[in-house]
């Protein structure tokens, strides 16, 4: 074994192999997210019955006939979805009606405070 470690070619090979492993571990998400290189590793996860928070002027208006719960579908890299499932942090689904007057309105639903994993 001592003879192997005294051989400079063996040490160079081991150092190259360790560097290659480290590079692969750091860049694995980048390599899987590029289209055409490798098959994408996208995953979807659906949250059922998520409470909808509606922001409006409750001193002047009253809400009638709105969904109290919504279905949320998350799509992204498998590692991010798995981290979300494990952490299960706090998040909020919001419909902002504060800029709307009386009448019937269709609004976009937004999310707040989701656990986001960025590269």
Read off the pLDDT of each residue in 11-15 and give the average, rounded to a whole number.
93
Q: How far are the Cα atoms of 15, 27, 36, 64 from residue 93, in angstroms, in the given order?
A: 49, 32, 34, 19
Which residues are CB-contacts of 14 (< 8 A; sequence separation ≥ 6)?
none
Tokens of 18: 């360790």
Nearest to 47 by CA among 69, 79, 25: 69
CB contact at 8 A, 43 and 77: yes
Q: What is the pLDDT of residues 76-111, one digit of tens each?
A: 888 778 888 887 767 889 998 888 888 888 888 998
β-pairing verdict for 92-96 and 42-55 = parallel
Domain map (residue ranges) of the chain: 1-39, 41-119
Select from 3.40.50.2000, 2.170.120.30, 1.10.3470.10, 3.40.50.1980 the CATH code of 41-119. Answer: 2.170.120.30
pTM for this model (two decimals):
0.55
């Amino acid at each position: 074994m001592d003879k192997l470690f005294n051989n400079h070619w063996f040490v160079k090979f081991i150092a190259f192999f360790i560097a290659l492993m480290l590079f692969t571990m750091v860049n694995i998400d980048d390599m899987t997210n590029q289209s055409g290189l490798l098959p994408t590793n996208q995953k979807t996860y659906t949250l059922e019955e998520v409470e909808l928070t509606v922001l409006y002027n409750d001193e002047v208006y009253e809400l009638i006939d709105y969904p109290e719960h919504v279905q949320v579908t998350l799509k992204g890299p498998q590692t991010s979805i798995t981290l979300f499932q494990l952490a299960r942090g706090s998040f909020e689904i919001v419909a902002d009606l504060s800029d709307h007057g009386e009448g019937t309105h269709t609004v976009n639903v937004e999310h707040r405070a989701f656990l986001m994993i960025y590269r």
